[in-house]
Structures are given as C-alpha cells and as structure tokens.
Chains A and B, each alone.
Chain A
C-alpha cells in the first residue's frame, strides 16, 4: 500500500525538536544520559562537540534499559578514520573497535586526550521486539592546543545493539577512560505522528 503525504508548504514545525541539551565547562563530566520516549520519538539526531581531555580519550555510545546502562558484549559496529595528511589512506575496522555482536559499546570518535571531537549521529530505537536499536555516525577528530598543529581525522561508524528495541529506555554518551572538562551535546528528536 503506498502512502502519499501532501503537507507541502511547511504546515507545522513538529518534525524535529530539541529534546535535550547539555553544556559543561571547567567541570569533569564522564557521561551524559538521555531518556527515550517511544510515544513521541522514533529516532534522535545528536550533535556533539567534546574536548577529550583530561581522560575522555574516545567518544562512545551505549544504550540503556530498565537495568541500567547495557555494557554486555552485544554491540556491532564498523569504524573508519582518515587522517588529513596528504597521501594518507583510511583505516577500516582496525584497532579492535569493530566487530559483529562482540563489542560492549558503539564507537563515535577517537582517540586521544589531545583531541576534540565533533560530529552528528542518528540513533533509531524501533519500538518492537523484533528490531534492534541502531546508530549511524559521522565525525571529525580535531587536535587541540595540547597537541598543536597535527593531523585531523575524518571519521564514521555504524552499528547496532542486539537487544530488542522495545526494551530500550535511553542512551548514554560517554568517554572511554574518564571525564571531559568541556563539551556540548544537543539531542533532537524525530517526532512520530
């Protein structure tokens, strides 16, 4: 059955709305949690900028259920990063990050405390037992003044969690090794009608 939608002139502003926002500066933050509302949102479009010092190192994502943050090795993902240096080639699925159903997080950016990362990712949480929550991310890893003038990296990843989507209650964005001293995260919800 085809569906036709004729709302052709911006009839409302309800497609994408800000769900949450966090900014920290000169404060040690090791993770940021967001609560999923399946009655309102199908997906979340997240933008972030995070200083990876002093210990954040890598930017990870984990889903949350009623028992808390899901840390089991049930995640799958691919990774890719490409240095800005002339003649460099991308690195695909290297460094022990990628895997199929045997990882404990989804990698969004990294690594190094002498870098900042910024990017955007789409997180979809289908409200069904037969479907998995899934993530697609594009990012940049940018050297900070700690590192000085060196390569930046363009990065991307995609993955999922092999857990029923209708059991997911939220997600966490975290540093792999510890806190960040400054950063900002915005979460926009893709509204369901």
Chain B
C-alpha cells in the first residue's frame, strides 16, 4: 500500500511545527525539563546554546517517564569530535556504542551525550529526537532516539580550540511510556543559556 501526504500545502509553519517549550536563564541552572505528548509528536528538534561555566561541563540528555528522569543504564550512545587545530587529515575522535567503556560512548549508559566537555566552553547545536508514542500494533516496541550536531565553542576564558561534534543515542525503554526529556549539565550548573524544543505535529495514523 502506498500513502500520499496529507495536510494542506502552504500551511503556516507554526501550525505543524509547534513550540513545546523554550527557556533562557542568566543565573546558575543545572537542568531543563520538557514534557510533551508523544502521541502528538513523533519527531522533535531541540535547539540549545549553553555556557558551560561554572560547572555544567558536558551537555547531556535524559528521557522522562511518569516517575521523572530515567536514570537507569538503559541508554546507548556514540560520539564524535574534531578540534579546529587538528592537522590536515587527522580523523576525528570517535567513541562507538559498542565496546566503549568510558563516559563518552558505549552501551549501558545512563544518559545521552549532546556536547562536551569543559567548563571553559559554550556549546550549541540541534538534536533531532524521535519518540513514537502511539502504535497501531501495541505489542511492538520502539525506542526513543536522538541525533545531534553541535559545536563546543571556545571562549575568552580559554585558549583551547573549538570542536565540531556530533552524536547519536537511544534509550531502550518503550517510547510510548516517555513523557518528556531533560537537558542537563554533567558537572553542575550553567550561568546562562537558551534551550528551545519544537515538535512536528503528526497527522492521524494511516
């Protein structure tokens, strides 16, 4: 069976790509939590710019369920970063989801990496998030997942290079139990930042 796109061409962007939430802060903040309806939004985009000082250090993501942040070791993620001062044809650093045992990637993790690390940096980026909350076949599980592109940006606080980064990850918990997500600093608070989450509102299931 093939299906065609439904919806009205020319619909304003705001009616289908909707704001889930947005915030900015200028005092020490350690996390930002969003709740969203996974039966309405299967795909979302998270935008962030965060100053990692004084203690934010890494930018991580956790999904949420009815009990709050999911902190169990049910996540897997991989990471990649490349500094601006890398010599020509120096490969980026990769940390794969298989076999990695450190905090930068691997199986059985308790969070998903978005950017890092260092309190002297800022990070910004966007992450596409898939969370399918309604199944036609309720017996089949899907997992929420994330794909991210980021920059770990140097600042006047350091002479370190800037890093281009990307990553992906999933949470091995059925996505129809997910109620939201939390963006947080691994080491503590950030003094300033902006985070926005938008969702693509889905059409009725075919």
Q: Which residues of A contact B (CB under 8 A)?
A: 1-18, 42-43, 45, 76-78, 80, 90-95, 98-101, 122, 124, 126, 128, 130-132, 134-136, 138, 156-160, 162, 188, 190-193
Contacts and interface: CB of A to CB of B under 8 A. Distances in A.
Given A1-B28, A76-B154, A14 B89 contact: no
B1 interface: no
B27 A43 contact: no
Given A8-B20, A131-B51, A159-B84, 17 more contacts: A1-B28, A3-B25, A12-B14, A16-B198, A42-B24, A43-B47, A43-B194, A80-B164, A91-B89, A92-B89, A95-B88, A98-B86, A99-B84, A101-B84, A134-B122, A136-B126, A193-B23
Interface size range on B against A: 35 or more
A13 B90 contact: no
A27 B126 CA distance: 33
B134 interface: no
Contacts, number: 214
Contacts of A9: 36-37, 40
Interface in B1-52: 12-15, 17-25, 27-37, 40-41, 47, 49, 51
A193 B20 CA distance: 13
B22 A193 contact: yes
Interface string B73-96: 000000000111111111110000
Interface string B144-162: 0000011101111100011
A1 B157 CA distance: 23
A11 B51 contact: no
A92 B92 CA distance: 8
